[in-house]
Structure 1
Amino acid sequence: MSNTHALTRALAATAVAGLAVGLLVTAPAHAGEPSKGLSAVSVADGGDQGPSVAYQLAAGPQIKRSEVIRRAASWVGRGLVYDGGGTYEGYRRDCSGYASMAWSLGKPGLDTTSYVPSGVASWIDKSDLKPGDALLNDAAGALGHIAIFAGWTDSSKTSYDAYEFTKSGVQHKAIPYPYFSGHGTFRPVRNNSIVDDAVASGPDNVGVFRPSTGEFHLRYDNGSLAKVAWGQSGDLPVSANWDGAGPDNVGVFRPSTGEFHLRYDNGSLAKVAWGQSGDLPVSANWDGAGPDNVGVFRPSTGEFHLRMDNGSLTKIAWGQSGDQPVSGNWDGGAAANVGVFRPSTGEFHLRMDNGSLTKIAWGQSGDLPVTANWDGAGPDNIGIFRPSTGEFHLRMDNGSLTKVAWGAQGDLPVSANWDANAG
């Protein structure tokens, strides 16, 4: 899987209606609110209200990590009320019923005491955690709890991106490792039937979004064309690895609603509200862990507003009005960074992890910038799409030029690792 990302460009400033607010991250609203004689632990996690029944199965069906995350995300925002005696889509509306749903286990779901003894799951080390695994407190009844692990929030691995069902509902949020203090003993656990997604390999490649047809025309490493219908006229393209597994994928920023519409590997849609009128979209892995995320460049203030995996905002002052935003991993560190292409000078102004500036002369007025890892090794690099000729001019790590004929006048460029080979 590549850590490089296609970066969106606008041909002109685009009006975006209203302010879009990103996903907020909060600590559990129920923490420290014991009631009805329950301990703080049972209140904090909502408990596992499912009955202690005979184990339903010795192993679950094979499931990809990206599918676990997609299933977990599918219950977020549906207004589901925690009720261990009730069900939704056949699964109990409690923490372990929800995890059983995410892992596609038998209905109505196992309880927290059953995952490991039944052979469905096994304990693993912290260093082995991957998206689709879980953090489990295997105590019985209301003291037990389980949260689906979606990735580390940063390289320190002191907190993680998670999905869980608590008394506050189904939430997607950051949780300190292994869990909030005072709520029992949590350990990493893995579904024995989970499989890694295909791994993107080789260098990144180019593509274009064609507003007139609402299609992406993506170039594969062998030069073949893959068309993906996604978006509509007026949208601005993005591409990155939204689910942290498999190949990179496409998305669009819709100025009329201030929303990103991101395409997952299975073709499903994830909407993220982020940005405001006049912003230009970018995408990359801002914290060096977990899936890629979105952001915007605000020309009026010369600031990037980047969305972290936990929904929080990071602002970076870089660039000025008239610049076109880019992002990539310029120095080979864990996280990606930002930059701008300045058409008036034909220069890229790239921000290193330490805040320093690197200038690279590449392109000219009228070109549209792209950045990615063109040779599959070392740091990311820059390039431009020249609409007048329908060519990409890509800069290799040694400074040499590679030209790729792809696209036409009116297209908007993207770049990423579209190919996935079995890993």
Structure 2
Amino acid sequence: MRDCGSCEESGGGRAERCPQDGDPGRGTAWVGAAPARSAPRRGPLHRAAAGLLAAVAAFALAAPAAAVPDGADDPDVLRPQGVDAQGLPMQPDGMAGPARGLGQPITRMQILARAAIWADDHVGYSQLTFRKGWRTDCSGYVSMAWDLGRNHWTGDLHQVGERIGFADLRPGDMLLHHNRSRPRDGSHVVLFERWTDQPGGDFVMYEQTPPSVKHRTWSESGYSRKKYTSYRYRNVIENEAVWYPVTGDWDGDGRVTAGTAVPEGESWRWRLSDDPRGATTDADFLFGDVRKLPIVGDWDGDGRWTPGTVDLTGEHHDWYLSNSLRGGEPDVRVGYGDTEKAPVVGDWDGNGTFTPGVVDADGDVRDWYLSNTLAGGEHDLHVGFGDVDKVPVVGDWNGDRVSTPGVVDHDGEHRDWELTNSLDDPETETEVSLGDVGQIPVTGDWDGDGIVTPGVADPAIREWRLSNALASGIADTVFAYAGTPAAPGAAGPSPSPAVPPSPVPSPATPPAAPSPGPAAPSAGPVVPPVADPSPSASAFVPPPGVPPLDQPTVLH
């Protein structure tokens, strides 16, 4: 028997296995399963998608604390998986510290896409090393795939999950075993991908175990199903419960106004308002693959902002951009940015066009890699600004027509904004407090004075609160806009959803062609979609003791 530090794995033999065992979990959750397959297919998009809609973020519903696994509260048990004697998970700075709890809302497609990156790269197992800030053991792998606030371990992963029945597992859920007496060689966690046949039987999974990440069926693993409990991430986004706020100048009048993107079939349904208070829906169309993240920007410099999507898979972000509000196929395809960095967009050189950027989260300060073209290739600017624990935003904070970075905190009762007007050795020049931690930061020039200012969108009641000044205090404009269908005579829906373009060339190729993924308008990073407050989907309420979501804001 080989000790992998977080699970037991037999060499040539097989440990007890029973994928048909009765379910140890309690309760039910979302019904349904991915289509059956006889064997796992290796394409990253296939593994990432598994027939699911994705590419947004939404808030999770608060629920009672999940049942505590055996040994999770036992101070006398040695702690494996990169934790100290007190059971605090090791973090990238070399220090053990409490996990932050929930991360930003994430779709099932995004979870599997993130898991597939480590599988494709054959990331090696270690309790002591980190990749892009994530510990490379089994629990660090799940923390990475779920994009949690910080690294967790098998003793506390249940805190960000909701216990479900085994037959109710859906792509991106986890099976967790925390052993009370032998946590080092008896604890493990794996990510569920899909059933091989009928729900409740054998299934395909991702797991981090020596020597490196494996993508295989449960029956190949030799583990005992009796020991594992099924959990669903509390912040996972189901397709039918997504509300994604976007902001942009849709009609070119110099004012940024509200909009929404929601999944409809395999495409995004965009509903955009030209009214400063969201009184009308002036554009209503389909554009982009829902497995990719929505973004907006003025890609051709005509003064009107239009949609785009960014792919989360592969070696680099693939961007699919449209220059119209009519839907259909993208006009521009670009390959740019490491997929393990967060996409942002902005006008970095003040020429009137929006171009891509990505933001890293390694070290103490966020590193921004910005491009001034839509041709892909290497970055033109490298900027260091903002604490890595804060959410990046983008905007023209001083009216000089150049987009510059900002970050938004999520600690305390309010959101604190730190903004800079420089792309050359920037320092914080403006500090603003606006919005509650449960609200999504958005940015825009709400009054047409040429200066981008903060705002927040409340997912629970679909309320927007916008400020026209870079000063802490009460919002100047408050209104409700949920993206209602267009009135008769308004722009009608596109006749057909956007068709995904052909494969994108390498980012090093000049007029590269990309695939869609997460990005956002120039005012800030990508904004996660929000759970639908209708009876079928619950409004977000922070679970007791869980820190607020660290979610990116809408970019313009």
Q: Between the two structures, name the one with larger relative contact order (CA 8 Å, sep ≥ 6).
A: 1
Q: Which has the higher strand share?
A: 1
TM-score by length of 2: 0.38
TM-score by length of 1: 0.49
